[in-house]
């Protein structure tokens, strides 16, 4: 069974469920599965991203086109 068919099958079975405890458990599993990638970054990485956003908001730095030109030798 491919992924799309499996998902459709799961959806149909969830719709047919009448057991509240199972629905609550599924809800909990799905909430835990959804993670925020930001919290997995180190403090240094978060600070560097924040600095980059600050610079971009003040129109500092270089354009994407210029960056690609500078770093094209590493392609």
Domain boundaries, the chain: 1-34, 36-75
How much is the pLDDT for 1?
63
Q: Which of 28, 53, 26 is nearest to 38 (CA)?
A: 53
The answer to whether 5 touches 14, Cβ cutoff 8 Å, is no
How much is the pLDDT for 62?
84
How much is the pLDDT for 56?
87
How much is the pLDDT for 73?
81
How much is the pLDDT for 64?
85
Measured at the CA of 15, the angle between CA 12 and CA 21, to 5 degrees, comes to: 125
Chunked mean pLDDT (size 10), the chain, 75 residues = 88 92 91 80 93 89 86 80
């Amino acid at each position: 069974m491919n992924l799309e068919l499996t998902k459709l099958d799961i959806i149909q079975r969830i719709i047919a469920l009448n057991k509240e405890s199972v629905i609550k458990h599924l809800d909990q599993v799905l909430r835990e599965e959804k993670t925020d990638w930001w919290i997995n970054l180190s403090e240094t990485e978060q600070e560097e991203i924040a600095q980059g956003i600050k610079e971009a908001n003040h129109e500092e730095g270089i354009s994407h086109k210029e960056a690609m030109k500078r770093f094209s030798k590493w392609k």
